[in-house]
Amino acid sequence: MTSPVLMAVDDDPGGLRTLDDALRRRYDRDYLVIGETSPGTALGRLRELRAAGHPVAVLMAASAMAATPGSEFLAQACSIQPAAKRVLVVPRGGPGAPSLRVPVPLVQDRQAATPVLRAIALGMVDTYLSAPGAGRDEEFHWAVSELLEEWAHDAVPALPAVRIIAHERSARAHELRDTLARNGIPYVFHAAGSADGRSRLQQAGQDGSALPVLVMYTGEVLVDPPNDRIAVAFGLASVPEGTVDVAIVGAGPAGLSAAVYAASEGLSTLLLEREAIGGQAGSSSLIRNYLGFPRGISGASLATRAFEQAWSFGAIPSVARPVSGLQPVRDGFTLRFAGGGEGHARSVLITTGVSYRRLDAPGLDSMLGAGVFYGATASEGGAFSGGHVFIAGGANSAGQAAVNLARYAQQVTIVVRGDSLAARMSQYLIDEITATANIDVRTGTQIAGAEGSGKLEALILKDTSTGDAETVPASALVVLIGAMPHTDWLPSQIGRDERGFVVTGSDLTDGGDPGASWAPPRPPFPLETSLPGVFAAGDVRHGSVKRVASAVGEGSIAATQVTQYLQQQARSS
Ligand SMILES: Cc1cc2nc3c(=O)[nH]c(=O)nc-3n(C[C@H](O)[C@H](O)[C@H](O)COP(=O)(O)OP(=O)(O)OC[C@H]3O[C@@H](n4cnc5c(N)ncnc54)[C@H](O)[C@@H]3O)c2cc1C
């Protein structure tokens, strides 16, 4: 297999030597390290590598180069190698953030740091690093390793756990790829019509009449398997026979955090997830506002780490396990699973989050996964290369998707019904969108239909004030238009507000919400629902702040309240 490239660019030969040496000493065996003193030559080299199908993992450029500033070079390089992580290298002690780890006189001068931070905010670079020292610079290598790990999440894995052979535009294949990517399972896709795909089918003993075919790392061949069959193959489908202390329904940030804290507090913890570990956050290409990750972290990385943490404390994960019913019984609750079977728990935590509203326009549903997507995963950015992508929606998730997809697509158009983005999008994203040449915004417009044979080819856009319709060529539509809570499986004893969000704590007792009531003589715990012993946390909860950090915080608090509830129950029995 071709070694991925680490490229360093600095027009100062001394600076390049230090950077190039530091990279070669650590990464020479697994990566091809290339050093260039000229940004122009480096761009040519990147084009050659692209033509040869050679992956580029990390691109580093000195911030202060005479001919082309490092940020400009990296912005240009992005159109050639969109998957590469782009790093601006600032001089040691230069305009980076003050460091608590390395006692060098790093500049505390925010003004000097502004161009670097601006380049990150505008998406010209992914992050910055201080130039490495001459010796073993562990802080530098720690950051490089993190970048390589993030890159590897989206790249063709060196050690795939699954090979999928399917038609390129198959909706089921799209779903499988999305599910595997979001569960952090490395896979390789082979188009069934390609020579490679045909040879893989033959090796698997398949004639291609039934697709998708999955070849597992064990050699096992699965033909169009349901998701729970794949979960079984990865040991992610167990449900204990007896009664666990707490069953957590939904493994987004709230559920994962609750699983970490409940299991670490010694509770037997069952974590049930219907689709993919990480929830909505798992589909976020870069979460920049989560505490402790100043350079941001992809939702997939965060989810994988949290999942491992929960598992290491003893939480039992059960994926592809949609919960369809909840019933109070003598010693707790019985949970019914959509695919059959049930589980038992002394307490339940609902962390089922929300999902996107569906766009209702003729032709859209038939092209789901074949050009029409709800949400956009980073791993699929490459699929939009060179095309015209439309994004329906005007909130932050739409803004983030636009900025991410603009790295791959030729043109990205955000379509909003309202007359501006300001009502629902953060200003930093609006600034980034304004500064990105290949993103435009069509306000006062709605998607009125989709056309194409087998895949999306055109969209019908309607002016909301005049009613005029226009058909425009489109290679993809990403829909991000708001959220609905996953609560239709809950029994009527669990009070919800008029939009279906679960009511908890003081909202049950202050008479503020007619949809919910609290019967017991004791007050409810702050995250307890109207059904005592059942708690709710994260986006699904009435009044929740829809953020990763808030969901994680609520998950940890809910775990503590569940522990207290179980202690109360034990004392009173
Ligand atoms: C594209 C995108 C980008 C975002 N970027 C950011 C960002 O940069 N910063 C930020 O702070 N926030 C961001 N958010 C918001 C953030 O991801 C959410 O606020 C957060 O994920 C909520 O966590 P949660 O655990 O409450 O719910 P969710 O993440 O929605 O997770 C709920 C989980 O429950 C599962 N589930 C649902 N019903 C059932 C059932 N019946 N049985 C079993 N499982 C079930 C779902 O499959 C899902 O995995 C982003 C959201 C999106 C969509």
Res 383: pLDDT: 62
Q: For residue 171, count CB atoms less than 10 angstroms from its CB and return exposed for 0-12, middle for 13-18, buried for 19 or more.
A: middle
Structure tokens, 548: 């990763």
- The reported pLDDT for the residue numbered 168 is 85
Phi, psi of 445 (to 5 degrees): -135, 145
**Residue 542: exposed, middle, or buried by beta-carbon count in 10 A (0-12, 13-18, 19+)?**
buried
Q: d(Cα 294, Cα 459) in Å, to the nearest integer?
A: 39
Distance CA 488, CA 490 (A): 6
Count other C-beta atoms under 10 Å from residue 292's C-beta: 6
Neighbour count for residue 47 (Cβ, 10 Å): 13
Q: What is the distance between the alpha carbons of residues 175 and 319, in angstroms, rounded to a whole number?
A: 15
Residue with tokens 């050690």: 159
55 lines ligand 1 (CB under 6 A): no
79-83, 183-187, 388-392: range with highest mean pLDDT: 388-392
Least confident interval from 30-44, 92-106, 341-355: 92-106
Q: Which tens digits make up the pLDDT trace of 23-43?
A: 999 999 999 999 999 999 999
pLDDT at residue 121, as a whole number = 57
Average pLDDT, stretch 79-96? 81
Distance between CA atoms of 543 and 541, rounded to whole angstroms? 6
Least confident of 28-37, 358-367, 529-538: 358-367
Q: Residue 295: which pLDDT band, with cuts at 50, 70 and 90?
A: confident
Pocket test for ligand 1, best of 178, 280, 400 (most atoms within 8 A of CB): 280
Place of tokens 């900025």: 403
Tell me what pLDDT residue 23 has.
Answer: 97
Residue 544 contacts residue 277 (beta carbons within 8 Å): no
pLDDT digits (tens, 9 = 90+) for 430-461: 999 999 999 999 999 999 999 987 678 899 99
What pLDDT, on a 0 to 100 scale, did the predictor assign at position 440? 97
First to last CA, the chain: 63
Residue 133 has pLDDT above 80, yes or no: yes
Ligand 1 centroid distance, CA of 200 (Å): 36
Whether pLDDT at 319 is above 50 = yes
Buried b / exposed e along 174-186 (16+ C-beta atoms within 10 A): bebbbbbbbbbbb
For residue 541, the ligand 1 atom closest to its alpha carbon is 26
Select from 256, 260, 270, 284 the residue to mutate for testing ligand 1; criterion: most ligand atoms less than 8 Å from CB: 284
Mean pLDDT of the chain: 89
- 73-77, 323-327, 361-365, 394-398: which has the highest mean pLDDT? 323-327
Q: How confident is the model at residue 313 (pLDDT cuts 50, 70, 90)?
A: very high
Give me the sign of the Cα torsion angle 118, 119, 125, 131. Answer: negative
Lowest mean pLDDT among 193-202, 291-300, 484-493: 291-300
Residue 222 in contact with residue 211, Cβ under 8 Å? no
Query: What confidence score (pLDDT) does residue 104 get?
Result: 36
Q: SS3 of 104, please?
A: coil
Reported as a single tens digit per residue, the pLDDT across 158-198 is 789 999 999 988 889 988 988 887 788 889 999 999 999 99
Residue type, 283: S
Q: Which of 93-102, 119-128, 372-381, 520-529 shows the lowest mean pLDDT across its residues? A: 93-102
Atom 27 (ligand 1) nearest CA: 353
Q: What is the dihedral of CA 136, 138, 141, 146, to 10 degrees?
A: 170
Write down how long the chain is. 573
Task: Please return the burial class of 130, using the count of CB atoms within 10 Å of its CB with bins 0-12, 13-18 and 19+.
Answer: buried
Looking at residue 442, its pLDDT comes to: 97
Has residue 64 got a pLDDT over 90?
Answer: no
Asked if residue 317 lies in contact with residue 273, where contact means CB atoms within 8 angstroms, the answer is yes
Does pLDDT of 377 surpass 60? Answer: no
Give the Cα separation of 459 and 473 in Å (integer): 6
Report in angstroms the alpha-carbon separations of 506 from 261, 350, 444, 518.
23, 17, 40, 10
Q: Would the CB of 284 count as within 6 Å of ligand 1?
A: yes
Cα of 278 vs centre of ligand 1, distance in Å, is 7
Alpha carbon distance 371, 368 (integer Å): 7
Q: What are the tokens at 164?
A: 């999928």
Contacts of 443 (CB under 8 A, 6+ apart): 416, 418, 419, 420, 421
What is the per-residue pLDDT for 165?
A: 97
Which string of DSSP letters, residue by residue, matches 256-309? HHHHHHHHHTT--EEEEESS-TTGGGGG-S-B-SSTT-TT-B-HHHHHHHHHHH
* HSE value, Cβ hemisphere, 13 Å, CA-based, for 134: 1
pLDDT at 538: 97
Task: State whether the beta carbon of 538 lies less than 6 angstroms from ligand 1.
Answer: yes
Residue 534 φ/ψ, nearest 5 degrees: -110, 125
> Looking at the predicted structure, is the pLDDT value of residue 154 above 90?
no
Check if 378 has its Cβ closer than 6 Å to any atom of ligand 1: no
Q: Which atom of ligand 1 is nearest to the CA of 486?
A: 38
pTM above 0.85, yes or no: no
